[in-house]
Structures are given as C-alpha cells and as structure tokens.
Amino acid sequence: MKEKRGIAPVFQYIFVAIAGIIILSFFVQSALRQSNISKEVGNIQTVNALEDNLRALEVATNANKEIQLAAKQGITVNKPVCGVLRVENSPQIRTQEAIFSNTELKADKLKVWTVSWEYPYRIMNFFFLADGQTEYIVQGTGRLAEELVGIQRQGEPCCDNFEFIPKIFNVKTNSYTPQSGQVKKYVFINQEPTVAPAPTAEVLKIQTDGEKCDEQGNREDSECTGVVTFYKEEGQETTVFFGKAMLYGSIFAKDKKSYDCSLEAAFERMEKVTKVYEKRAEKLFAKDMQDQLSPNPTYLRIKESLHTLITTLENKKIKVRQLTQADLQEIAQQKEIIQNLNEVLRSEGKGQVF
C-alpha cells in the first residue's frame, strides 16, 4: 500500500517535466525562427535599398556615393548568373543595370560610382561598385594614366567636366608603394604589365586606340575605344571597350566573365534605345514628307544606318564573350556614320534625330 501511494507524485513530476520541456522547446524554436526571419527580412530590405539607391543615381551623368549598410554584409553581383543582385541569403533580384564590380563584396560601406554611357547618344548608366578591400594602382606614363587618378597637367588648358575615378575608391599612381594585406589591382595603361597575377594581385592592361581617351580638347567620351586584357594565373583573356564609361568598367570588373555580364546588359539596352531612335527618324521623315514636296533624305539615311547598327548589335550580342578588335571597328564605323548624319541635319537646320 505504501509503495503504491509513493508512485503517484513521482508520476506527476515526470509528467510536468516532460510538458515543460515540450513547451520550452517550442518557445526556443519560435525564438530561433523569429531571429532567422528578422535576418532574412533585413537582407531583403538591404538588397531592395541597394537597388533603389542605384536607380536613384541613374539620373546623374556622373555621381558617386558611399552607401551605409546596417552591418558588414556579403553582396553578390552577377553570380551565379549575369544580372542578379543579392545580399547574404536574400532572394536574388534581377536587374538590367550594368554593374561592374567584384562578384563578391563584403562591406558595411559600399562605394558606388555611376557614369552615363553615350555611344553616341545616351544609352544607360554604368555602375561601379567596390567594398574598399581593393587598392587600385594605375600605372602608365601617358596623360590618361594621370587623368584617371585626378591629375591635371599644369599650364595646359583643360577641360570642361574633367572626369576621373573618385577619391572614395583607393586609386593610387605609379609612385605608390602598395601596403601588404589588401588586395591590389594593377591597371597598366598602354604598357606591358610588370607585375604577375597572384591571389592578392589582379592585373589588367588597357590598350587604347591612339590618344582618344584622354581629356585633351574636350573629346567626346564615345571616341574612347580599345582593348582590355585580364591577366590570370592560368592565362589571359582579351576583350574590347567602346566609350570611356566602359574603360572604367574594365578597371572595376573582377575578371572577363564579370565584365562580359555587364557588356551583355549594355548591348541589350543599346539595341532597345537604337530602335527608339530608328523609329524617331522614321516619324520625322514621315512628318517632313507630309509638310514638304521633297522631304529630307538624310532622315531616311540615318534611319537605315540605325537599322544596320541594330542588326550588328543583334549579331554581336550572341558572341559578346568573343568580341575582337574587328567587331569594335565595325560598331565604331557605324556609330561614326550615324553621328555624321545627325550633324548634317543640324547643319541643314532640321530637327536632329538625337
């Protein structure tokens, strides 16, 4: 009898303990889940805020900014596929922007620079992103190498809107002795590299077509073209650039693969904008025909040239990862024709197409 009386309270204690453990584990699980959800919500807010910041900068022709993030976060750009942006484990955001940067950034303060790309009309803005972990060391004896880091030659008349890589990026010149610890990107302008690529040393060579990329004589940015070579430990890869903004892009892109992502985005947008101008030329011609007995044939010629450019872009888009100097020449020539025809319209006192 006494043994049976003793069993009941023990059973109660066991029952209470089990129930308490179940309730406690439920709350602990809820708390952990809530913490994960808060983190995910934070990442989604950050990636949306980043996208909004980029879109807001789109209206500027040249602007730079440091975007403060809530904490040091990992940002993935154009990885694993082109045209995606992601913060930590947030869902990927698809973007049509051309973003030149490392594929993986880690920062609490993201440096952003945007420049308008014109070829020959304004097409889109390019964005250059950096996390401050990389030192950019520009090497070269020519004018362009100096201008990229903001050095204007003394005593020479310069230029409206002198453009250079903003100081927020760690851009140094020939005479700089690199600090250890940071990743360095060596940019050789019109000269052979004197540094071999290594895990903490990226090497890039930019070969410009003549002297068309420096600011002398207020040259148009669209005249700046050339070839870019990305050096890696396993070899080198070459591509082209057309327009000054694209030259900057090659400096900030991690490698050729990342650069090609943005090049694709640029081609895509260029095709769409060119279609708009082709139709504009067509409508101006039609209106001219309505008004006059002999409408201006320049509208028709420029329309046809724009159409040729669209066809060229469609063909090049397919092989954007294997672009050569011959492709660059072809696009550059068509651009020259279109630009000249537009100038003819101006000289004839007619409304220009762009």
Q: Min. distance of Cβ 283 from another protein in angstroms?
A: 6
Complex with another protein: residue 259 or 285, whichever CB lies closer = 285
Q: Min. distance of Cβ 59 from another protein in angstroms?
A: 4
What is the number of helices (H) and of strands (E) in the chain? 6, 12
Q: Are 189 and 208 in contact (CB under 8 A)?
A: yes
- Report the C-alpha gap between 271 and 294 in whole angstroms: 31
- Report the C-alpha gap between 216 and 144 in whole angstroms: 10
Complex with another protein: residue 232 or 272, whichever CB lies closer = 272
Q: Min. distance of Cβ 5 from another protein in angstroms?
A: 6
Complex with another protein: residue 121 or 176, whichever CB lies closer = 121
Complex with another protein: residue 89 or 96, whichever CB lies closer = 96
Complex with another protein: residue 10 or 326, whichever CB lies closer = 10
Query: Tokens 């040393």 correspond to what residue?
Result: 201
Closest CA to 110 of 57, 63, 71, 148: 71
Complex with another protein: residue 8 or 71, whichever CB lies closer = 8
Q: Min. distance of Cβ 121 from another protein in angstroms?
A: 6
DSSP 93-129: EE--SEEES-SEEEEEEEEEEEEEEESSSEEEEEEEE
Q: Min. distance of Cβ 277 from another protein in angstroms?
A: 8
Contacts made by residues 309-314, CB under 8 angstroms, sequence distance 24+: 309/274, 309/334, 309/335, 309/338, 310/271, 310/274, 310/275, 310/278, 313/267, 313/270, 313/271, 313/274, 314/271
Give the binding site for another protein (CB under 8 A): 1, 4-5, 8, 12, 15-16, 19, 23, 30, 41, 45, 48, 52, 55-56, 58-59, 94-96, 121-124, 268, 272-273, 275-276, 279-280, 283-284, 286-287, 290-291, 342, 346, 351-352, 354
Q: Min. distance of Cβ 84 from another protein in angstroms?
A: 11
